[in-house]
Amino acid sequence: MPELPEVETVKRGLTPAMEGVVIAKADVNRPDLRWPFPPGMATRLTGQRVERLRRRSKYILADLSSGETLLIHLGMSGRMLVSGDPLGAFVHDHPAPEKHDHVVLHMANGARITFNDPRRFGAMDMMETATADAHKLLSVLGPEPLSNDFHAAHLVSAFKGKMTPVKSALLDQRIVAGLGNIYVCETLFRAKIRPTQKAGKLSKPKVERLVPIVRDVLSEAIEAGGSSLRDFRQADGELGYFQHTFDVYGREGAPCRTPDCPGVIRRIVQSGRSSFYCAQCQR
């Protein structure tokens, strides 16, 4: 599933074609994805200007001139693709419609935004912009890891007394929003913390060290356009490249990249997810 860097990359790719532009027509080609679309979604989108495009955790939010906000979740295989952009940011002509083009937004500037999702694990919803933070998917989220609300004192407090593994704690969206399996593995490697360590047993300096490392890992991934694993593509259809710099994720049995470290990368399963780490570096 796309994590924060991938969703941020898609949001940035959509912005030139959507922000400040009217949705001339919205086509909704099925009644649902992971759950039913809101009633009259096509009508509620048509004719509205996208005032602002933003991201919260792994969700893309489009604030509309109607006072409503469109929430988009890519799920496992969802893609938001731009074609026919008159600004010249994208070179693709409008492609022929595909079987899994479930929602298509025809923008007044000539761009077309297509939500394609073969597995239909993605989702869309609409809500009042003024109360969007109270939406059931957004109200439970912790601070954004790249915001000022995510700081050492917050993480120390959140980890206090928590006997779950630090890997699980960092994946808890109530503690920090948007982190997923890939970037938690990479963060813990850089912090030299084994994923099985109990969050509440970590020393305060170790917990504090996690904050800038989380930010560095995410910022580098965004700069690289995310990680192209399985179905992820950017809004222009291109691949991300951060996966080429993974230190541990997906490298089971490979030598550790820390200079002079004799270790190899190991894989264990935690709560049904693979964790990758170096037993020599991460203690």
Asked whether residue 130 falls in the same domain as residue 45, the answer is: yes
Q: Which of 82, 108, 134 is the last residue of a domain?
A: 134
Asked whether residue 96 falls in the same domain as residue 185, the answer is: no
Contact present, 35 and 123 (Cβ < 8 Å): yes
- Is 11 a domain residue? yes
Asked whether residue 166 falls in the same domain as residue 266, the answer is: yes
- The CATH number for 42's domain is 3.20.190.10
Give the β-pairing of 112-116 and 273-278.
unpaired
- Is 76 a domain residue? yes
Provide the pLDDT confidence category of residue 219 given band limits of 50, 70 and 90.
very high
Number of domains composing the chain = 2
- Is 147 a domain residue? no
Give the β-pairing of 123-128 and 68-73.
antiparallel
Rounded CA-CA distance 79/181 in Å is 20
Asked whether residue 165 falls in the same domain as residue 197, the answer is: yes
Q: How far is CA 34 from the centre of its chain?
A: 17
Tell me which amino acid residue 89 is.
Answer: A
Contact present, 276 and 167 (Cβ < 8 Å): no
Residue 242: its pLDDT value, please? 43
Q: Which of 134, 161, 190 is the last residue of a domain?
A: 134
Asked whether residue 13 falls in the same domain as residue 129, the answer is: yes
Contact present, 108 and 84 (Cβ < 8 Å): no
Q: Is 99 exposed, middle or buried (0-12, 13-18, 19+ CB in 10 A)?
A: exposed
Q: Look at residue 243 and tell me whether its pLDDT is greater than 90.
A: no
Q: Rounded to the nearest 5°, which phi and psi values hold at 96?
A: -65, 145
Closest C-alpha to 133, from 208, 218, 63, 193: 63
Asked whether residue 115 falls in the same domain as residue 44, the answer is: yes
Residues noted as catalytic: 2-3, 58, 273
- Is 192 a domain residue? yes
42: domain range?
Answer: 4-134
- The CATH number for 274's domain is 1.10.8.50
- Is 139 a domain residue? no
Q: How far is the CA of 34 from the CAs of 58, 88, 124, in angstroms? A: 15, 33, 9
Asked whether residue 124 falls in the same domain as residue 14, the answer is: yes
Asked whether residue 158 falls in the same domain as residue 127, the answer is: no
Asked whether residue 46 falls in the same domain as residue 120, the answer is: yes
- Is 283 a domain residue? no
Give the global pTM. Answer: 0.88
Asked whether residue 191 falls in the same domain as residue 257, the answer is: yes
What pLDDT, in 10s, does the model give residues 86-140?
555 555 567 777 789 999 999 999 999 999 999 999 999 999 999 999 999 999 9
Rounded CA-CA distance 79/76 in Å is 9
What pLDDT, in 10s, does the model give residues 143-198?
999 999 999 999 999 999 999 999 999 999 999 999 999 999 999 999 999 999 99
Query: What is the pLDDT of the chain when averaged over all its residues?
Result: 90
- Is 142 a domain residue? no
- Is 140 a domain residue? no
